[in-house]
Structure formats: C-alpha cells, structure tokens
Structure 1
Amino acid sequence: MYNSTKLIVIKLLLTMTRFAFLVTVITIALSGVLLAADVKSQDLRTIQVTFSAKNTTLEDVFNKIEQQTALSFTFAKQIGDKQLTTYQATNRSVDVILKELAKSWRLKFVQLGDIIAVSELPPPAKPGRITGKVTDAKTGETLIGVTVRVSGRPNGASTDVNGRFSLQVEPGTYNVALSYVGYQTTAVNDVVVKEDQPTYLAIKMEPSQGDLAEVTVKADRVITSTNEKLVGQMKNAVGVVSGISSEQITISVDRSASEVVRRVAGITLQDGFISIRGMTPRYNPVFLNNVYMPSTDPNKRAFNFDLLPSNVIDRILVYKTGAPELPGDFAGGVVKVHTKKSVNIRRFEMTLNGQYRTGNKFFSNHVSAGNGKYDWLGFDDGTRGLPKGIPRNQYGVALSQVSVSNPNGYSIANEKLTDALLQRSAKQWTLQNVYHPMDIQGDATYYTYANLGSMKLNSVSLARYELQRGYFRSNTARGANQFVETDFPANGAPLSPYYKDNYRLMYDSVYSENVRLAAMQDLSLNIDKRNDINLMVLFNHMAKDQLQIQTTTNWNNSAGNPFPRRVESAYNQQQLLTTVLGGTHKTNNDRHSIEWNVNYSRARSYDPGQFSNIYEPDLKSINGIYNGEGSLNITDATTWRMYTFPQNTNVGNFSDGEGLEKRWQGNIDYVFQIAPKTWKDLQLKAGAYYENRNKNYQFYAFRYGRYPAMPYSADPWNTIGQTLLEANALRPQGQR
C-alpha cells in the first residue's frame, strides 16, 4: 500500500511538472511576442556591402557580410555547404542580397537584433485536382452551370456543357458543396486529395420538391453570455450575487457601463461612480476580467463606469457578500466586469446610430469655448493645455518666480509665462459656434480564428466612436428660499416668495459635448480542452466639454456685485489602458486547476484650462442699482464688458490639473477538488497576489491681476481673445 501511494504521488508530481513546464514555455513565447517590439534591429535596407564571390559556398557569402557589418548569421551545415558559381555585390543593401538568396535557394531569414537565423523552406507540395461530373439523379441528364465550392477555398467552379468540373487544390481533405436552382443542395464530405493526383467524383443531384420557397436572409449578433448561463453562475457563486448578461445588454440602447449597471438590482450611480447598499464608491472595488481597476478620479478612490463602452461588456456580476476569492477591503460590494471573449467564428458586425432629441439644438449651432481641430476625436490640439516650454522640476511640476511674502504658496509669473498664458486664454476664452446635426455612435466588431496545428487561436476586435452634444436651460435662484407665510396653507395654496437682502434669480444655459473613442482586442489560445491562455487589451478615451452661461435677472445684493452674466468652461479628458495576460490549466482528472494573470493598467485624468469669467451690462440696461435691489432688462441695444474689479477673485480665474495612476498586478489561484465524486463542493483553495501602484496629481490655479478698463460691446465673449491681447498690462498670479 505504501508503494502504491508513493507511485500515485510521483505520477501526480510528474503531471504537475509537465503542465508547469508547458505554461512556462507558452508564457515565455507570448512574452517574446509582446516584447519583440523592444528589440532594436538594424534596418537591413540601409546596410550596404561590397564583395565578390566565385566558386564558393553560402557560408563564405555570410562571412563576407559579417566582416563588413555588425550582423551575425546562424545556420545549419547543409545550408552553408550550398555551392555558388558566382555572386557580385557592389554597394548593395543586405536586404536585397538576402531576398535574392532566399529566392534562389528557398531560404528563410529571421532577424532578431543583430542575429539573422537562416533556415530552409520545405519543398512545395504539388497540387492535386478535384474533378467530376454532375447529373440529374432521376433522368441522368448532365447539369450545366452547377456551382461547385470546396471548403476553405475562396473560389469555386461551374460545370461545363458536359456537366464536368475541375478544381486545383493543395493535398488534403475537403468538403465539396454543390448548388443549383431547382435542385437540393448536395454535399460530399471528407474528399481526400493526394499530391499530383486527381480525385474523381460522380455526383447525382436530386430535384427540389414543390415550388421555390421564399428566401430569407437573417443575421444575428454574437451572444457570448446568455441569461441562462448568468443565472447558473449566480447560483454556483458563494454569497449573494446579482448580474446582467450580454443577451440583455445587446437588446438595450445603453452606451456605457454606467447605463448597463443601473439595471442591476441594488445599484445606484452618480456621475458614473457606483454605490452599493448606500456605501460610497471608495468601498466598492471594481474588477475587469479579475483585475483590480485603477482610480479614475484624482479626488476619490473609485472607478468611473462611464469609461467602459457597453459593446465590450460580456457580463457584469455584483457580489454583495464576502467570499474567499474577493478582497477584504469592501463594505458595500464588489463589481466584476467581464469583457467579450473571442469565439470560433468568422464574422464582421457594424452598426451606425443617429439620435435626435428635441430641445437640444440639433441641426443648429452649438456654443463652445476654445475649439481645437481635434475636438471631434476627443483630443486637445494644444489650445487648452499649459503652454510648452514652461520650466518644470523633476516631478513635472511647472515652476515660476517664487513670491518672497509666501514662498510655499503663491508665485509671480515671469514675462515669458505671462505672454504664453495670454495667448492660450485668447484662444480658449473666445466662444464659438459649431454646427451640430445630431448625435452619432458607430460600432464595429470582427470575430475570426486560426488553426495552429492541434491548437486554435480565436480573436475578437471591437471599436466604438461616439459624439454627443447637449443643451438645456433651467431657472435657478440663490438666497430665494424664503416665503411670506409662516405656516403651510391648509388648502394647498402656493406659497408667496419673500425676497430679503442678498438674493439672486437666474437662468442657466448649459452646452455640453461628449466624445468617446474605444477599442478592445481579445486573443484566446486554446491549447487543448484543459489549457487556455488569453490576452486582452482595452483602450478607452473620453472627452467632456461643458460651457455654462449663467444670467442674473433680479437681485438684492448690498454686499457687492450680483455678477449679471457668468461664463464658465470645464474640459476633461479621461483615458484608460489595461492589458491582461492570463491562463487556466487543469489536470486530466480535473482535480487540480490553476488560474493566473498579469496586468498593467494606466488611468489618466486631464483638466486643462478651466476658466470662469464675469461680464457686466451697461447701466442703461439695469433697473435699480448694483449694490442693492435691481433687475436686468436685456434688449438688442444692451452692451457688455468683462468685469475687471481687481480684488474680486471670481474674475479671470483659470486652472489646470492632471492625474496619472499606474498599476501593475499579478495573481495565481490554485484549486484542489478533494473528493470530486462524493463531495463536489469540498475544495482546497490557495492563491497569491501582487500589486504595485503609483498615483500622482498636479493642479495649478491662476488669475489675472491689474486689469485695464475693458470696452463695451454687444458680444464681448466672442471677441475676448483679441481684447486680452490688446490689454498687455495683464499679469497672471498663480497658486499651486
């Protein structure tokens, strides 16, 4: 019994060793593919040599090239012994020489750095032929024009006047399909074609029964997770789990993960951040393909679901109770998002959506600030960013002259920085009109696969583009929530407003623009039934531009200026890049399983050139007084100017911010089925996790001081750029 147990343990260790070796080899191979771009190879087209060879060998030619370059050749002896009668090269590129040798001797050259590996190509197999004759099964008459197709071949053939056909193919096994109007489609499977030999087929086609039926063309989307699978996964999970599948997502009109996850019970969202059971976003970690997602907000530890487009999502699971495989730092719940996986099909899907919403200024002008030529792609062309050439310290923080009075806080900008900031403000503060027909959204998905011997490589590629512009107007008030009545009327009559000192009645006009670019690539290598390796790369770029114009119509403001018109602009970019390489491996008896992955994630938040400006009207348009009770009467004759009271910190403010978080992760999980036949749920689990995270955020706030008098005009916000450049007395002051 002792020896029997010992043999079982030895066999188990040998099996695990073989699989560990296989995983290591495949991981190294894939790592080589991923890191190949880092190996700097010489461009063979730019390397020229001169030599003469007569009655020599290929080895001698390679040696002559090595003597004049830094290249080194590696090859088998039978390749180096091949004889050359003569070869002449005068200032010829190595690339041309190798191409000529490859063509003459059927060689293959592979360059890695300065090393070139030489190998022989196998001799080409001589093609065979599939020939035959097609006749009517009942009458024996030959059929003319029958379409003949062979599996795996792009082109087919048609029968001639004698009902014969002929197709040249490489040696192998094929399926042949024949179709003809009025006849049943006929298939001949497992047709073996040998090298340089014909394979003859005598085919009889049966006439169709009855009249020709209506032809219906139907195309369905690929559904990678169904409701049934999702319910099964939730039942088998440890604890309380809710979720949504791609089957439900596909039939919805949701554009982002934040819209999708709202459909899960117990979930609430605010500005794209998730809340579970009332707990704030920092207590609800988010995983993408079992990888911890980085924070996308500089002020909170949370992931913004607006970053994930809905077309990349396969399913979402929300864990509301603890489990051994979940992190222990959550109080509300854990959200696991799984992206679509590649499947064994070839298909291309494309959708283009247009949306028209009433009240949103479609087919008219859309107002925005500081437009750049790449805004439609969601990228800033430099119009909004900090000027180039600003001095920075070793951490990338912009520097300016330090103030003597407050060396740790305020700084006084130098003349070069002042001029650069003025040039930027001149572009960014100027409002512009952009024609907008309607919102658009385009998606493209491509599934494909390749057979690699006994292995299979599946691939899915997804891309999305969105452009959405919005407009709304709303009435608002400040300090106006007081009423004449001291008790609520019993009959439900409306209350009478009581406006005391320091109130304002206003209306807001808000213009917004959202752009999204997203792409995902998923590669799945199926080694066998128990071993898979997967690589996923996801990139998402979002840009949000919001312009708010607030106009005060009535006020009672003894404390100061009522700020009749405020123009504020906020532009934000968010980027997410995540790469996951992982695998699953099981033993033959399925008792041992290993799941592992390594990940790199990068989240960037960029807030360039946010500003707030105040404009005041001419005194003729004001009923009453500024520092007291008054109202604004806007007419076609009303003129405005930028408010320039130098002590007011709400005038001419602008700020810049940028945050970046990088995260490296790796984990491995091991599961052992203790008694798979009697106790399927009795398992031993072990795992390890590694994480390295780096996060930083930089913020700059500026305002202009020493304003000169600004001129009145009908629309100064459309010409403020030129006005700023003419007002060369401005000097920005900053605080970091």
Structure 2
Amino acid sequence: MKSQLNLKKAIITALFVIIGTAVFAQTGKISGKVSDKKTGETLIGVTVKIKNTAKGMATDVDGKYSLTGLATGKYTLIFQYVGYNGKEISDVEVTSGKNTIFDIILDEAGGQNLNEVVIQGSFKKESVNALYAQQKNSAVISDGISSELIKRSPDKNTSDVLKRVSGATIQDNKFVVIRGLSDRYNTAMLDGASLPSTEPNRKAFSFDIVPSNLVDNLIISKTATPDLPGDFTGGAVQITTKDIPDQNYITLSGGVGYNTASTFKDFFSGSRNTTDYFGFDDGKRKLQPSFPSTSRLAAGLTYEQNIKAIRTLPQDWSIYNMTALPTQNYQFTLGRVKDLKDNKKFGAIVSLTYRNAQSITRDAVREFYEYNYIDNSYKFSTNVGALANFAYTYGKSKITFKNIYNRIFDDQYTNRTGTNGSSGTDNKFFAFDLIQKSLFKSTLEGNHQLGARNAKINWSVGFSNVLNDQPDQRKINYSKNISDLDKPEVAYTANVLNIGKENTRLFSTLKENGYTGSVNYSLPVNLFKETSTLKVGLASSYRDRNFDVRFLGLQLGFNNENVEAIRARPLKTLFGKDLIESGAYTLSEIPNSGDIYTANSLTNAGYAMLDNKFGDKARLVWGVRTEMFNVNLKTLDASNKPVKQDYFDVLPSLNFTYSLTEKINLRASYYRTLARPEFRELAPFQYYDYEQLAFQQGNPALKRAQINNADVRFELYPSAGQIISVSAFYKQFNNAIESLNEDYNSTRTITYFNSDKADVYGLEFEVRKSLDFIAENEFMKNTTAYANLALIKSKVTNPANTGVVYLEKSRQMVGQAPYTINAGLQHAFLDNKMNFNILYNKVGRRIIAAGGSRFPSIWEAPRNVLDLQLGMKVFKNKGEFKINAGDILNNNNILYYDNNMNKKYEMNGEDETINRYKLGSNYSLSFSYTL
C-alpha cells in the first residue's frame, strides 16, 4: 500500500515537472540593465513595464530587471525614472524558452518636468546606444573585453583573454605584461578584491587559473582613480565573475590536445601516483612526522637512528619511460536562477574544471660562461579548479558570496648533459622536482541603496589562502674530467661525498593567509547645476606568511672501502636498500635558519573622490587616496636583523574626459602610484635554481617605489563595438624595483635592487573595425579586424656608490619591452553559426635581469606567435565544436647575453645563450553542450 502511494506521488510529481517544462518551453523572458547615459552608473528603482499590461517591476541594486513568463511575440517596454527622460521601446522580441537580453541607457532630464517626456525607440537602435555608452563611460583610460567577445574567442582561461586587450601581453602563458612593464608593476583584482601573488619567488598572479567562460567582464585600468588600489603602474586587471545567470543551464565540455613536441613521444619521469592525476600528492613524498628535527640532526644521530631516519625518505630513484598522452580538459558548469516574490531573486553558478598535460622541452641549449649544456625536461601537470558563486537580490539590495579554488600540480623530471669549463668536468645531472600550488579565495559582498537619492553603500569582506609546497626536490650530478672523455674505462661518478647545490633534497612549504575588508559610499550631489557623485571609502588588507625549508642529503663516508664503486653505481641503485641498511650513508643537513621566515603586512587605505560633470561634454573624476603600509619579516636566525618598514603615501589622481561628439572622446590624466616589495623580494632566503644555474636571493634593504604618471588619449567609436584610439603616456619612477644578475661570484645570484630613477614614455594605437568600409556586403560586415600596438622607450641609470661597478651605466628598464603587437581577424558566417579567428602577437626584446659587473643584462628575444580557431555551433546552437591551433610558428624561446650590444640575438656569433628551447605547437579539439 505504501509503495503504491509513493508511486502515485512520483507520477504526480513527474506530471508537474513535465507540465512546468512545457509551460516554460512556450514562454520566455526579457532581462537587462539600465544605466545613466553619461556616467555608466547603473540606476536603481527604474520602473520597467510592458505596455498595455499590468506586468512590470523596478530595477534592483545592480540596475537589472527580469520580466518572466512572457508568451512568444513582440513587446513594447516603457522605462520611467524620476529626473530622467522616459523611454518607450518597441519590437522587443521574445522566443520560447529563451532570454532576450536588452540593456538600455537613460538620459537626465534637462529642465522642469522633462522627466515626463517619453522618447520612443526600437530594440535594435537602443541596444546599439547602450553598447556605445558602455564603451565611452569609463572614468579612466582603460581597455576591456566582455563575456560576449570572450565567447567568440579561442580562449580557455583568463590569461588567454588578456592577450586580446590593447597593450597587454602574456609571459609564460600566465603572467600579464601591460604597456611593456613587467608583471610586478601590475595588480590583479577578482570580484573587487586584490589577489595575492601566486608565485613563491616573484610578485605575479597566474591568470590561467580562472576559466574564461565564467568571466562576466575583464577590464584593465591603465590610469588610477582613488577607489583603486595604489600599488600598480602598468595596469589594474579587474576580473568580475558571473553570479546570477540570465537563465538556468548546465554546460558540459571536454577536449583533447596534441603538442608537436610532446604528444605520443617518449616521456620520462620519476614515480607516479594515482592521486597525481587529481592534483594531489599522496603524502609519501613529504617529510614524515617522525623525521628528526634540524636541532636533533645537528646534535647527532646514533647509527640506528641514522638508518631509521633515512628509511623514511622516498628512495625510488628509478626513471620511468612512458608515452606522453594528449592534453585533456573537462568542465562542468551549473547555472541556476530563481525569480521569487516581490522582485526577489536568487542565483547560483557552480563550476568544476580539470586539465592534464604532459609536456616535453627537448634539447634546450645553455651555452654561456663556462657552461655548455643540453637539457631535456618532462613535465606532468594537473590543474583542478572549482568556482561557486551565489547571489540574492531583495528590494534595493544585493548580497553575493563568491568562492574560487584552483590547484596546480607540476611534477618535472630534468636530464642535463654537457661540460662545465670552470670545474673541468663533463656532467650527467638529474633532477626530480614537484611543485604543488593552490589558491582559495572567498568574498562576501553587499550592495545597498540608501534613501531616495540613489545613494549607495557597498561593503565586502574576504579571505584568501595561498599554498606553495615543494616536497622532496631531488638533485644528483655525475661527472668525470673532460680530459677523460675519450677514456671509456673511466666511469662517471656521483657527487655524494658531501652535500651542496647539486645533490641536496629540498623540502619547502609556503603558507599565506590574507584578510580583506572594505566599505564604499557614493552620494549624488548637485554641483555647477549638474548631478555629480561623491564617493568615499575605507579598505584594509592583512597578509600573514610562514615559509619553512630544509636542505637534506645523504653523504657517503670516506672510510667506506668501496667509495668509488658506489659512486659509479647507476642512479637506480645509487641509494640502494643494501647501502642504506649497511650504514654507508649518513643523513646530513645544510644549516639554513636564515632561510626560514615569517612575515606579515597591513595596508590601511582611505579615499575621497568626486565625479563632476560640466554640461553635456566635460567630465572630471578627481580625488586623493591615502595608504598606510606596514611590513614585518624575520628569520629563524636571530642574528639576522628583522625587516620592518612603515610608509604613509598620499596618492592624488585626476581624470578628465571631453566628448567632442557622440563618437569622440578626448582624455587626460595625472596620478601617483607605488610599488611595494614582496615578502620574497625582502627575505634573505637563498635558493639554488638549477634551471637558471643561479641562486635566487632577496634583499632586506629593498624600498618601495613611487611613480608619477601622465596620460592623454583620443578615442573614436565608428560604430557600436568598434574603436580607434591613440594614447601617449609618461611614467617617472623613483626607487624602481628591478631584478639584478649579480655575477661577481662563480655562481651568479638573481636578486633585487632599487634603481635610483627611471623614465618610461610611449604611444599606444588601437583599432577594432569591421571591414564593411571596403565593400558594403554581408561578408565584410561580418569580418572584424583588430590590432593594438604599443611603442615604449625607457631609460634607467644604474645606481652609483653601491660598491659594485656596473658593466652598463644606463640601460632599458628591466621587464620593459620597447614594443608590443597584438593583431587579429574575426569572421562570422552561416548566420553566426561558424566563427573563424586568427591572432598574432609579438613582444619586443626585454631585459629579464639587469647586468652586473662582469656580464651584461640578460635579454629575452622576441617571438612571433600565431594562433587560430574555428568554431561551429550545432544542435540548435546548444553545442559547439572548436578547433584550436596555438603557437603555430613555434619560434624559439631565447634568453641570452647581448655581448656585442647589437640589439639582436646571434646564435653563432658573440652572444651567449642562457637558454634556447621550443615548446611545440598545440592543436586541440573541444566540444561543449548546454542543456
């Protein structure tokens, strides 16, 4: 009886679902955003009605509206708002089961009772007007890309998207370079909050962690306003992820990729665990809890304790051979929106991503100083990520809770062969290196309208966690004298008689927590007979880092009778169980209390700004920001003086915009910004980077940099979605933070220093235009060409009286490229069911590290990068195939010493090659389907 009752309930429920689905399939909805024509500010409480019906609502705190349950057909919408001219828009078409997105702009009434005037227009014309306003209304000189343009590009993550933005290029497929300035002079913001550095040895954010299809919009602000953080000079990259979707959906996607240098080739690596494929080490590589502490090791272990401790270390030194599989990537995204009573709404977006790649860097050349090496590296990479965003709107308020998590697992095996002239040896070097990086960020934000004057208050609190774990980086070198190369009876022997940079096992863990909070208040005020906006705010950010590292190794006793025979053993048995159990090896540790550090910083900021309008054409956004910054860093070694810095900075800014016509803007700005040293740049921690054949070390004396900036820009908007612009800029640096190649020791050290003064000035050109001006036909109308070019000049005078006589007296600024080029061609055909996109990128040669007293600066040579994509929509536009080709030209990546100073790389000339390699071209096929 009970089972029959349950069956009836199930049948009734199923019928309701079927009926509900059928009803939804027969209806659609209209949604969009209402904004002020001159400022771009969204308008809260605008009345939106369907003409000749009782259906209507008011826009929420984001200026958004949503009219649901509409039958198929065309409607006329009426928009009314006190103080603004009303609009009546015809021909807004609704299609069954779909959401018609319609954004609109309203203009302020110019006199008494003009708010009662109703302007009539059409859906198509008003959509174009809204896009125009969005392009022109930025208060600052900025460039960006919307979610709609992202959909049409071949980009899988945010780093790829950034390549399309004027003046922005990407380094190492993840770090952004804006206006040719190195990534350390940029700041990254996600959903309104600053992002921490994801890298342990530099100030940089890895933009490849945010999937592109979850980005609502991406804007690079190249000039500052007081409500932006003060620590950027190249640009502030602001990423906004989606919260309330336009409609319910489930999207599934998957893809495979082929790399010409790697896929189906022999792939060598250390041991592999199943959990590696999910982005997590199984815990066996890290030091076990029972492992002796540093102090215990220093006090000395007994014979039995020594063997017991060594047993806990992984001893599988085998090199496994497999076949590199194609790149795999999968994504699941769920979007849900629920319209509630009284214009309340709840939305959620949840996404899971997975990527696995096995890449090979073959025959990388290193020919500099006394080195003549060839490297072969094999990297196994897994990337897993999750995003969960929730939003609730009620009345004139909105609460959002946004969360993102990303984890990167990179396990690399490197084999190096070649000679070292300084030691007179021929070498066979092996390195096993696992790095696990993760970022978690959570932000709770509220937006509320106060009173009836469109005053707004915004608040947010956030938490972030960064982890960088390097468990058991293992290195070992075999060598024999160069004079014995023609003597096969002389064996290569391993350097296990002592521990050093070539044969240590490194265990390091970096953990950092960040806490942020802010509150912003804006109030419309009447100045000069115009409505202006006063905005004030407070913000605070606290970061707390712990870094722990140990350098361990197994040392062979000199009194062992078979020392040379043991040293000649192959890598697989060099640390064999028989040797460990017999006590042949002693566990040793390099003292490093000066490398272990804790650090924290506190930034408190306040600002006030006015957004003034002067008539219909002029706009001035001006104000001041103050920032108090405190940093503390201390090492475990009490003899090292703690780092303590306190700064108070006043950062004024002014942005002026004059609209010559409806399609032309003139902009000018002045602003002051700064750049603060990162914890790693201040920490005295010294780390041997075997890939660079150099030490990495911080500088506790590093100061913060101050920069004065000025910009002018001309903007022409030929039609909606198109732009032609010309910009000029100047930047004056005091105490610029740069990387330095210290070379007075036998092994060079990459560190950081302040150059006294640096000047940077440049020009930017951008064009995005359809080709219908060539011929007025459908083909040219659907073809868009775009290009942006930046030409930059910089000059730095190396500091004097530092005890170092620099080889170069003046030079280009570190990281500053003299030019950047982005260009592309897009074409849509078959009623936008197919899209073709070809893209080109090139960055001028730039300095990676400033030269020292013996060698000139290290340069990165330019590369030509060509990408293309073909996209095809199927199954009534619910599915899409994409064929991508990346880095088709596969130019060499080159770092070198420009010894003859001729500003170009000569492979067989006087220049010395620090690194030259190719990564291969990438070809992929992906498919996505939206339910």
Cα offset for 1:578? 0.8
Q: Which amino acid aligns with 1:318?
A: I
- CA drift of 1:359 comes to 2.9
Aligned-residue offset at 1:534: 0.8
| 2:357 maps to 1:468 | yes
Question: Is the CA contact (8 Å cut-off) linking 1:606 and 1:659 kept in structure 2?
Answer: yes
Deviation at 1:639, TM superposition (A): 11
The structure-2 alpha-carbon separation of the partners of 1:309 and 1:686, relative to structure 1 and needing over 3 Å to count, comes to same
- In the alignment, structure 1 segments of 5+ residues that lack a partner are 1-126, 128-148, 158-166, 168-173, 179-188, 191-216, 392-397, 405-410, 481-501, 617-624
Please give the secondary structure, in 2, of the residue aligned with 1:323.
coil
Alignment partner, residue 810 of structure 2: none
- The match for 1:649 is 500
- Quick check: 338-347 or 598-607, which moved more? 338-347
CA contact (8 A) 2:24 2:96 kept: no
Q: Deviations over 1:624-665 (max 9, x none)?
A: x824374698xxxx9976513514734431101111111111
Q: Does 1:734 align with 2:564?
A: no
Deviation readout 1:307-327 (Å, 9 max, x if unpaired): 333343222211111102112
Structure 2 Cα separation of the partners of residues 724 and 367 of structure 1: 26
Amino acid at match of 1:517: V
Label 1:219 to 1:262 Cα distance change in 2 as closer, same or farther (>3 A). farther
The equivalent of 1:695 in structure 2 is 545
Aligned to 1:439: 327
Q: 1:518-597 alignment to 2 at 5 Å?
A: 518-528=385-395, 530-552=396-418, 555=419, 557=421, 559-563=423-427, 565-587=428-450, 589-597=452-460
Q: Distance in 2 between matches of 1:246 and 1:436?
A: 34
Q: 1:701 offset after TM fit, Å?
A: 1.3
Bigger Cα Rg: 1
Q: Is the 8 A contact 1:643 1:651 kept in 2?
A: no
* AA partner of residue 585 (structure 2): L
In 1, distance between residues paired with 2:448 and 2:301? 62
Q: Find the counterpart in structure 1 of residue 201 from structure 2.
A: 299
| Aligned amino acid, residue 465 of structure 1 | Y
Q: Measured at CA, do residues 346 and 432 of structure 1 come closer, stay the same or move farther in structure 2, by a change above 3 Å?
A: same
Distance 1:222 1:374 in 2: 45
Aligned pair 1:251/2:152, yes or no? Answer: yes
Please state how far the C-alpha of 1:435 moved relative to its aligned partner: 4.4
Give distance in 2, aligned partners of 1:227 and 1:731: 75
Give the aligned partner of residue 224 of structure 2: 322
Residue 667 of structure 1: which of 485, 504, 518 is its match? 518
What is the CA deviation profile of residues 20-65 of structure 1, one whole-angstrom value per residue up to 9, with x for unaligned ones? xxxxxxxxxxxxxxxxxxxxxxxxxxxxxxxxxxxxxxxxxxxxxx
User: In 2, are the aligned partners of 1:548 and 1:568 still within 8 Å (CA)?
Assistant: yes
Q: Match of 1:734, as an amino acid?
A: E
Aligned residue number for residue 248 of structure 2: 346
Corresponding letter in the other structure for 1:437: L
Determine the C-alpha separation between the residues in 2 that align with 1:632 and 1:254: 54
Report the Cα distance in structure 1 between the residues aligned to 2:268 and 2:408, rounded to whole angstroms.
Answer: 20
State the 1:544 CA deviation. 1.0
Greater fraction strand: 2
**Structure 1 residue 254: Cα displacement:** 2.9
CA distance in 2, matches of 1:524, 1:326: 24
How far apart, in 1, do the equivalents of 2:410 and 2:153 lie?
24
Question: What is the CA–CA distance in structure 1 between the aligned matches of 2:256 and 2:215, rounded to whole Å?
Answer: 22
Give the conservation status (yes or no) of the 8 Å contact 1:430–1:719.
no
TM-score between the two structures when normalised by the length of structure 1: 0.59
User: Given residue 665 of structure 1, which amino acid in structure 2 is its aligned partner?
Assistant: T
Displacement after TM superposition at 1:334 (Å): 1.3
Identify the structure with bigger relative contact order (alpha carbons < 8 Å, sequence gap 6+): 2
User: Structure 1's 503 and 546: CA in aligned 2 closer, same or farther, altered over 3 A?
Assistant: closer
What letter corresponds to residue 559 of structure 1 in structure 2?
S
Counterpart AA for 1:728 = G
Deviations 1:701-735 (A, max 9, x none): 12221254455999644885557645632112213
Q: The residue matched to 1:239 in structure 2 has which SS?
A: coil
Shift, 1:697, TM fit: 1.2
1:565-595 CA deviation, whole Å, 9 max, x = no partner? 1111221111111111112112464531111
Question: Partner amino acid for 2:334?
Answer: Y
Aligned equivalents of 2:547, 2:584: Cα separation in 1: 32
SS of the residue aligned with 1:375? helix
Identical pairs, percent: 24
The one-letter amino acid paired with 1:526 is T
Residue 683 of structure 1: aligned partner: 533
Please report how far the alpha carbon of residue 475 of structure 1 lies from its aligned counterpart in structure 2 after TM superposition: 4.7
The structure with the greater share of residues assigned to helix is 1
Counterparts in 2 of 1:444-523, with a 5 A limit? 444-454=332-342, 455-479=344-368, 504=372, 506-523=373-390
Q: Quick one: distance in 2 between partners of 1:270 and 1:240?
A: 23
Cα contact 1:400–1:412 (8 A) shared by 2: no
Quick check: 2:25–2:97 contact (8 Å CA) kept in 1?
no
Equivalent of residue 315 in structure 2, options 426, 429, 443: 426
User: Does the 8 Å CA contact 2:497/2:556 hold for their aligned counterparts?
Assistant: yes
How far off its partner does 1:535 sit? 0.9
Q: Distance in 2 between matches of 1:219 and 1:727?
A: 75
> What is the distance in 2 between the residues matched to 1:361 and 1:688?
52
Aligned-partner SS, 2:261 = coil
What aligned pairs does 1:55-94 form with structure 2 within 5 A after superposition?
A: none
Q: Is the CA contact (8 Å cut-off) linking 2:443 and 2:462 kept in structure 1?
A: yes
Check the 8 A contact 2:307/2:583 in 1, yes or no.
Answer: no
2:842 aligned partner: none
- Cα contact 2:297–2:588 (8 A) shared by 1: no
On the 8 A contact 2:517/2:540 being kept in 1, the answer is yes
Shift of 1:287: 1.0
Q: SS of the counterpart of 2:354? A: strand
Q: 1:352 to 1:219 in 2, by over 3 A?
A: farther
What do you get for the CA RMSD once the two structures are aligned?
4.1
Structure 2 contact 499–554 (Cα < 8 Å) conserved: no
CA contact (8 A) 2:306 2:586 kept: no
Cα offset for 1:239?
A: 1.8
Q: Summarize the Cα distance change of 1:448–1:613 in structure 2 as closer, same or farther, 3 Å threshold.
A: same
CA–CA distance in 2 between the matches of 1:672 and 1:239?
Answer: 20
1:628 is aligned, of 460, 476, 483, to 483
Which residue of structure 2 aligns with residue 310 of structure 1?
Answer: 212
Name the structure 2 match of 1:484: none
The amino acid of 1:268's aligned partner reads T
Partner residue in 1 for 2:270 = 369
- Quick one: distance in 1 between partners of 2:339 and 2:565? 72
Report the Cα distance in structure 2 between the residues aligned to 1:375 and 1:632, rounded to whole angstroms: 42
Gaps of 5+ in 2: 1-8, 28-52, 55-94, 104-126, 558-562, 593-931
SS in 1 for 2:423: coil
Quick check: 1:270 aligned with 2:165? Answer: no
Of 703-712 and 248-257, the range deviating more from structure 2? 703-712
Q: 1:332 to 1:474 in 2, by over 3 A?
A: same
Superimposed CA distance per residue, residues 126-177 of structure 1 (whole angstroms, 9 cap, x where no aligned partner): x9xxxxxxxxxxxxxxxxxxxxx999931359xxxxxxxxx9xxxxxx8896
Q: Which residue of 1 aligns with 2:84?
A: none
